[in-house]
Amino acid sequence: MADTPRHILGSYDDALATLQNDLLMMASLCERNLRNSLGCLLNRDEDLCNVTIADDEEIDQLEKQVDKNGLDLLRRFQPVASDLRHVVAAMKLSNNLERIADQAVNIARKARKLNRAPLIDEVNFLDPMYREVTSMLSDVLRSYTEANIDLAISIPARDKKLDAMNHEITEKLTIQMTRFPERITEYLDLIFIARHLERAGDHVKNIAEDVVFAIAAEDIRHMGAQRPGSAADLLGDKAGDALAS
């Protein structure tokens, strides 16, 4: 992360850098897989579906490596305070990234099935939701690499928007089922894909919450209506000014 200070133990810094590099590689692959999963549906690309499913194995292996390195770092150096938060956050981020990649695989499998059936125009219902969740993922990863707390804090509200989009799409597709009962199977697959996108958004929100905790030692998971709207709200004016400078 951008604000991680140099530790008095150089070997600790090296171990943390290795952990974060593996995490960033995992994040890059996860982001690509999520984009590919909808690309194979919108473009009816069977090969891209297969690539998305196959690439999940590399993401799984990276998650295991991040967990292994994180646990080893905790055991060897017994970090405290911000050092401990950064290690724990990296391990939690890897878990959520792996879950997002799993949703991408689920989408690719549904897309591969849909691509073997005649095209239905309602596939395009998913495009705005897809664009929103991929944008959220890109932004939350930037919030982590840049230690941008304001960007992280903005994610939960966007997740609520994504939930509303999922509800709207489900309602539209349910209406289409009554109009074209012969395509019920395809409409159900689209509903499941929307649900997978919504679940990916939930994991993006989890990442945002972990980023805030790593930076500010604040838990924003259950703040609800009291959720702060900016870094200054969360950290106070002095800390907010420091972040802005």
**Which CATH number do you get for residue 109?**
1.20.58.220
Angle (nearest 5°) at CA 178 between 124 and 127: 10
Q: Tell me, yes or no, whether 4 lies in a domain.
A: no
Residue 10 confidence (pLDDT): 62
SS3 category, 161? helix
Q: Tell me, yes or no, whether 88 lies in a domain.
A: yes
What average pLDDT does the chain have? Answer: 88
Q: What is the mean pLDDT of residues 167-179?
A: 97
In total, how many domains does the chain have? 1
Residue 225 confidence (pLDDT): 41
Residue 36 confidence (pLDDT): 95
Q: Tell me, yes or no, whether 208 lies in a domain.
A: yes
Q: Tell me, yes or no, whether 2 lies in a domain.
A: no
Provide the total of helices (H) and of strands (E) in the chain, helices listed first. Answer: 9, 0
Q: Tell me, yes or no, whether 5 lies in a domain.
A: no
Say if residue 13's pLDDT is above 90.
Answer: no
Would you report the helix, strand and coil content of the chain in percent, each value rounded to 5? Answer: 85, 0, 15
Q: Tell me, yes or no, whether 3 lies in a domain.
A: no
Residue 216 confidence (pLDDT): 87
Residue 223 confidence (pLDDT): 59
Q: What range defines the domain where residue 235 resides?
A: 10-244
Q: What is the mean pLDDT of residues 175-181?
A: 96
Asked whether 24 and 1 are in contact (CB, 8 A), the reply is: no
- pLDDT band for 81, please (50, 70, 90 cuts): confident
Say if residue 60's pLDDT is above 80.
Answer: yes
pLDDT tens by residue, 217-239: 786 766 554 445 545 455 454 34
- pLDDT band for 80, please (50, 70, 90 cuts): confident
Q: Tell me, yes or no, whether 32 lies in a domain.
A: yes
Residue 176 confidence (pLDDT): 97
Say if residue 113's pLDDT is above 50.
Answer: yes
Q: What is the mean pLDDT of residues 187-200?
A: 98
Q: Which of 9, 4, 24, 6 is nearest to 66 (CA)?
A: 24
- pLDDT band for 112, please (50, 70, 90 cuts): very high
Residue 12 confidence (pLDDT): 87
pLDDT tens by residue, 34-45: 999 989 998 999
Q: Tell me, yes or no, whether 14 lies in a domain.
A: yes
Comparing 6-20, 32-46, 195-209, 218-232, the range with the smallest average pLDDT is 218-232
Comparing 3-17, 64-78, 93-107, 228-242, the range with the smallest average pLDDT is 228-242
Measure CA 112 to chain center: 23
Asked whether 198 and 169 are in contact (CB, 8 A), the reply is: no
Residue 160 confidence (pLDDT): 97
